[in-house]
Chain A
């Protein structure tokens, strides 16, 4: 496969692995957080971890859009489909995430709610055109990568006067999440855990550019390397982080130059700025309430805002207390530290979102790592 296999070449991987082993200082360890679930899965799917020296460790970050959606917002989405009779359009990953009482969109659908799995906002718009007498709501989730398509859908709906289309907006922002993690007591000096540097988001950065990470890198003195999603991208980025740490540099570097620029996609940014406004704060699963970390529709698009269009009830939401998803999402615990992991919580019977999503850390540990520990030793 042209333009993909080149980034999975075994001989280059071996060369990079040797280089990392040579340059990594054996007198210390390197604790690197990959923000994105896409990186977590690339690391596991291609077996990158066991090509790393033992003192280079990956911490898995919160960059899984499905995982960070708080239960309340999922319960709201289920309510939209069940009580307000809308056609709810959602990306497939959301379907099996358990909400309060382990109810899910999939179960609501089985019980008769009209929930449709779509591959893009274009599908949701088409459903709205095909069903002019029904309310169609797109459950919008995700980081800056999925935000421009939502903005484009809103602008299209307005241009076409599609009055039955709205979105339930749960878009969140990456840089505030990184700063929030670094500010948390877990990662303060003497805290429960330590992060030495970040593998920065790849697709998110294609939209926002690498500049927005610069304040966090400078303030918290942690290097960030924007890394592509292919295994060689990840390995080269690890080498760049090791070098920065060895040299005492805390810069934002861009490994993923074939896609990411310092300023990002200005046209997409303009579209997002037109359609969305920052929320004062937003609840993240795992991170709690994070200031200025999410988007809502701008007032002039209120007609397309499902939160304003439908009266959502106050509800009591419950999460399973022993589920460690919140700690896993902060990188404080590994999935295998959770008592539920692999016992009551499996991908077939998930308790927490991290086990459901194709980008969740628990799902990666379960699917790729169960028979071999990260270092290659058997654990199961």
Chain B
């Protein structure tokens, strides 16, 4: 079907018929999805996208996005579905090649909202320079979804000589963090139906592969990259120590957190170190590369507040410990269950 298909009328809501395989579904795909996402490969409309050959190693990652609310300060599920998955392959040092996107739509989802979300997903993919080459749409009955679920898969190419993996953390290496923690989690929480507090914090949702490429250009030997998403910094660092069998010691005073995020977390009884981020990375690198990498990160718009937060240490048990602002030393554990506001 050509890209000139007439725009889909945005009055009303998703109905079961939009997933039924008939004319309504074809019109939705052509008039809404393809209008926003169109590119030469997707427009062919094959069951499978056929890609040109790639010379090097491939990285692939898939990620389901189920966020509530669908739109939040600084982003929405559409942009997040692009950023989250691109960041997963960027953490292997990969340059992204293409994306796929599968949409599960709940009966009753306003078409206007769907249009905004798909437009946002398309804009995020365009900004990242990565086409969505194949996709799928399904509709489920009202009550069986949460408006919209989006699963995306990203494929990328890993440059020769790049070997990034959590088990490569070694004692003596430096631990860098690309910026302020907790923006995404607090922005989303601020719009949850039963919280709804006023804040000017925006989600940090962003694609990190550009900054990663700049970092690899000056330090191809980076040992570990990790994006501290669900579970925040605590979970990401614990994953590294567990994979590599090392310890990590970080300094609380060096961890950047915006005052608004710190205040919201204080009020809700959350720890910013456990709160999700969608546009930050942790980098573990040789001490000799640390200052150069920090320089490159701080020059990049997504790494302006980058900081060196700690060091990998030899440890017979894989613990993360934190020197507190007060001068004490304590363990930094994984989050158990969901972070919940305190009651007393």
User: Could you tell me which A residues sit within 8 Å of B by CB distance?
Assistant: 1, 4, 8, 10, 13-14, 17, 36-38, 44-51, 65, 91-93, 95-96, 117-119, 123, 126, 141-143, 145-146, 203, 231, 346-348, 358-359, 363, 366-372, 376, 380
Contacts and interface: CB of A to CB of B under 8 A. Distances in A.
B344 A119 contact: no
B327 A367 contact: no
A65 B344 contact: yes
Contacts of B330: 44-47, 368-369, 372
Nearest to B337: A96
Contacts of B253: 10
Contact of B342 (A1, A123, A358, A367): A358
A59 B329 CA distance: 19
Interface stretch (B70-78, B169-177, B316-324): B316-324
Interface in B117-167: none
Given A142-B344, A370-B331, A1 B263 contact: yes
B337 A8 contact: no
Interface residues of B, number: 31
Contacts of B331: 367-372
A47 B329 contact: yes
B4 interface: no
Contacts of A96: 337
Given A93-B343, A142-B343, A367 B326 contact: no
Contacts of B325: 8, 10, 46
Interface of B: 194-195, 247, 253, 259, 262-263, 266, 269, 271, 317, 319, 321, 323-331, 333, 336-338, 340-344
Contacts of A38: 342, 344
A255 B319 CA distance: 36
B343 A146 contact: yes
B195 A119 contact: yes
Given A1-B263, A368-B333, A376-B329, A47 B342 contact: no
Q: Which of B325, B330, B340, B344 has the most chain A CB within a 10 Å cutoff?
A: B344
Q: Which of A36, A37, A46 has the most chain B CB within a 10 Å cutoff?
A: A46
Contacts of A47: 323-324, 326-330
10 contacts: A1-B262, A1-B263, A17-B327, A50-B329, A92-B338, A93-B342, A95-B340, A123-B194, A367-B331, A369-B331
Nearest to A144: B344
B88 to A, nearest CB: 24
Given A96-B337, A119-B195, A348-B336, A370 B344 contact: no
